[in-house]
Structure 1
């Protein structure tokens, strides 16, 4: 689920939220490591 959400966030980040992408990336990495 995290990866699917990340895909949507990635598209939004491409719009005008590069910093947000980094935050999501950290969240995804943490979630992946925990799972």
Structure 2
């Protein structure tokens, strides 16, 4: 149970952090 929940939370964090990083990189490139 713990491993499944931690893995799910990791996927959730990755799915939220990755787009933020991509947007940050695109903004830096535009600047």
| TM-score using structure 1 length | 0.48
Q: How does 1:1-35 map to 2 (within 5 A)?
A: 17-35=3-21
What is the CA RMSD across the aligned residues, in angstroms? 1.2
Q: How many residues end up aligned between the 2 structures?
A: 20
State the 4+ residue runs in structure 1 displaced beyond 2 angstroms: none
| TM-score using structure 2 length | 0.52
Q: Return the alpha-carbon distance in structure 2 between the equivalents of residues 26 and 33 of structure 1.
A: 12
Greater Rg by CA: 2
Larger RCO, structures 1/2 (Cα 8 Å, 6+ apart): 1
